[in-house]
Chains A and B, each alone.
Chain A
Amino acid sequence: MAERALLRLVRVGKSFAERVVLRDISFRMQQGEILSLIGPSGCGKTTILRMIAGLANPDTGTIERNHALNEKGRIGYVFQDATLMPWASAEANVALPLILQGLPSKEAHQHANAMLAKLELGDFACAAPHELSGGMKMRVALARALITNPSLILLDEPFAALDEMTRHALNDEMLKLVRARGTSLVFVTHSVAEAAYLSDRVAVLSHRPGHVMAEFKMPWSCEQTPALRYEKRFTEETARISAALGRAMDDGNLVGAA
């Protein structure tokens, strides 16, 4: 074993009541790696993130976290909605993880302010969440996930509700920030193009009970530029992933018909 993995899932399974949601999920991640999970609706992608974050426990199998992940604040989480505290300013929302770690409020707010500036929200530090656009709220959520300088950030379809231009811009900004810090990402998305663009690897999950049907290694690790989206090799990769995703959907339909 060359390097100790940051995270390793070994034959992880999860059921809710009688319903098996996940079966034999196995993958491993190195520090700094970006993995996308893509699959049909309801195949348990969110459940995988929740288990990695420790919000739920697997019924079978094991999740091995590197000790780097076991301290408070070493894992960041970005939800489908921005999930901001509506009573708190953008800055206070971003400062929250630091405050929960026990940092003095003043210091936490200074860090939060600096982080907001990095995400081009410096002028909106005092704004209430309802004064921000959807894209800006997501930026705040991203800033909050980055503020503790975590080893791993889990993202659950964070940009699904945004328009394409905003989504592309946020993808590029996020990549720049996490590459600079060597942060790992597990990124759940419905968009094949988004998964392909962001990731080192893309895992296609099957219909419920979800398991990893196919895994694709992206050939452009760490060299994404906006122009990549229009290159031939990008189109080819997304076509391969789409085909696998199509098979995953078909499997589900066959099961459904039987």
Chain B
Amino acid sequence: MRNARVSIAIVIMLVAAWEAAVRDLAIPEWKLPAPSLVFDTLVNDWSVLGPAFAATLQVTLAGLALAIIGGVGIGLIASRSRLLENAISPIAVILQVTPLVAIAPLLIIYIGAQATLYVAAFLVAFFPMLTGTLAGLRAVDPALSDLFAVYGANATQRLWRLEAPSALPFMMAGLRTAGGLALIGAVVAEFVAGTVGDQAGLAYRIVEASYRLNMPRLFAALALIALTGVIIYALTGLASRIVLARWSEQRAMAD
């Protein structure tokens, strides 16, 4: 709690210093708008920014959910055999190392702008979920593995009672990385795809505001993207704490 208070105090101090600097130095709003103006814009332009915020949040969370299902699912399948893992890993690596911005135009042509957003958020978040799942499933304590063998555990019992719980801390670490990446994926894809109308997300509003040199709105959209990131960070952190509640403190800290 004390840490949280310090963090909040620092953020408030920085914002106050920014406000004071803009006023004292009479910086024009098209160069750097004051936080108070950004907040006013946020309220006044909510009819535009609100739906954009919802759109970006939706794309990010949907992409993340797909990545969790896909990463965990394919990780489970790949962990069943070396052959499958070797077959899947080059594809996963190629997808991971190719910059998303480079793939996005192709995706737009093939599947359209709207679908590209979801696929982009999914693609970047998928890899940490896959590697987390695979690493976790391989991190089973060999002695515990022997114990299950001594008691004649079958494959299903091993998976649910040994491998899955062993993998959870790794999967949760993967989830926290994947959450941040899904937002990056969604924002980058919006920049490239430039979806307009009701579907327009925060990134599109930023591009639009920059063309119009509408700095207060640009900052307001930026603040909402940061807020989206914070929400996802908090959600994945909460999920991690709930899921790993039974784990020993040392293990949770080590991961």
A residues with CB within 8 A of B: 50, 53-55, 72-73, 75-77, 79-81, 83, 85-89, 96-97, 99-101, 128-130, 148
* Residue among B157, B247, B249 making CB contact with A100, cutoff 8 Å: B157
Asked if B86 CB lies within 8 Å of chain A CBs, one says: no
Taken together as a complex, chains A and B put the C-alpha atoms of A77 and B146 apart, in Å, by: 9
User: Do B151 and A96 touch (CB < 8 A)?
Assistant: yes
B146 and A86 contacting across the interface, CB-CB below 8 Å: no
Judge whether B246 and A83 touch: CB under 8 Å. no
26 A-B interface contacts by CB (under 8 A): A54-B149, A55-B149, A55-B150, A72-B151, A73-B151, A77-B146, A77-B147, A79-B143, A79-B146, A79-B147, A83-B147, A85-B144, A85-B161, A86-B248, A87-B165, A87-B168, A97-B151, A99-B157, A99-B161, A100-B151, A100-B152, A100-B161, A101-B151, A101-B152, A128-B248, A148-B151
User: Residues on B close to A: CB < 8 A?
Assistant: 141, 143-144, 146-153, 157, 161-162, 165, 168, 246-251
- Minimum Cβ distance to chain B for residue A200 (Å): 24
Complex CA gap A96/B157 in Å reads 10
Residue ID in chain A nearest B146 by CB atoms:
A55
B141 pairs with A83, CB closer than 8 A: yes
Out of B147, B148, B250, which one reaches A130, CB within 8 Å? B250
Are A88 and B246 also in contact (CB < 8 A) when A55-B146, A55-B149, A101-B151 are?
yes
A-B pairs, top 5 by smallest CB distance, nearest first, are A130-B248, A72-B152, A83-B143, A100-B151, A87-B165
Asked if B157 and A85 make an inter-chain contact with CB atoms under 8 angstroms apart, the answer reads: no
Query: How near does chain A come to B67, taking the closest CB pair, in angstroms?
Result: 24
Task: Name the CB-closest residue of B to A50.
Answer: B146
What A residues does B246 contact at CB under 8 A? 87-89, 128
A152 vs B198: C-alpha distance when bound (angstroms): 71
B248 near A100 with CB under 8 A, answer: no
Question: CB within 8 A of B248: which of A53, A76, A129?
Answer: A129
Measured CB to CB, the closest approach of chain B to A224, in angstroms, equals 27
Whose C-beta in chain A lies nearest to the C-beta of B162? A85
- Cβ B150 vs Cβ A75 within 8 A: yes
